[in-house]
Amino acid sequence: MAPVRIALLICDTPVPPVVRESGDYLQIYGDWLRNSLRTALGDTVVPESRFIMDGYDVVHKMEYPDLDQYEALVLTGSSASAYEPLEWITKLVNFMTDVVKSRPHLPIVALCLGHQIMARALGGSVAPNNGHWELGVYEMELNEVGREFFGVPVLKLQQVHRDHVPSLPPYPNIKLLGSTPLTPIHGFIVPREDASSTHIFTLQGHPEFTASIVQHIVHARGPNGTGVVDPATAEDALKRARLPHDGLGIIGTKALEVLGVL
């Protein structure tokens, strides 16, 4: 079987300490999916035989893939806000709106800002979450749909956000997966029209992030960095970042299934 070709829409560049330690988003997302594949199938698997992922800079270059060349699409997170009237965000929302209409069978996985972009592309909105951060590992309580989708009642998930999707987009057959106390729309799925598999899978959190990545981000935005994260929140976040989470095992495996790799 030929490897699944995945287009990664890169919506940001990580802070310099993350780039030095873990690479850019193409490296981070590739490592997440490769490590998830090894977790699911064992260390003998050769990830490159299962998928190939190419990156497209939608921020600075505003470049987009020829989707005739790809079988799946992934949207990354970003420090930007999905409601900002920026040219690249408007173009990305329009692109994803067209993708959903023209390619209803293309698997899409979207995280953090990607989740918010998909909400807008499906007719929903994005807003600041009253200044509240979710930083580090938080539990996402799953509803009946989420429990069936993931096979567990609760997900533990790395978080780095203070914007959110306030309500489920008004799109046919869209299904909420679950919530946190601060973020009611923490992820959703849209099945294919024939219900044979999942067309769109989103999460507000960051299953692709390690504890070290989150800690670097907190340091960069905390009192010794930009200061957008207050000292108490930063201290709590650094502790939360070290907690166990389900990014590789449960969430990574499900993302691989949606993308058609498993």
pLDDT exceeding 90 applies to what percent of the chain? 90
4-127+165-208+246-259, which class in CATH? alpha beta
Note the pLDDT tens digit of each residue in 47-101.
889 999 999 999 999 999 999 999 999 999 999 999 999 999 999 999 999 999 9
Q: Residue 43: is its pLDDT beyond 90?
A: no
**Pairwise CA distance, residues 137 & 252, whole Å:** 16
Q: Residue 131: is its pLDDT beyond 80?
A: no
Hey, what amino acid is at 93?
V
Q: CB neighbours (10 Å) of residue 251?
A: 28
What values do phi and psi take at 15, rounded to 5? -60, 150
pLDDT band at 171, cuts 50/70/90? Answer: very high
Q: Residue 20: is its pLDDT beyond 90?
A: yes
Give how far Cα 80 sits from Cα of 12, 94, 166, Å: 8, 17, 17
**Pairwise CA distance, residues 34 & 29, whole Å:** 8
**Pairwise CA distance, residues 95 & 204, whole Å:** 20
Q: What is the pTM of this model?
A: 0.96
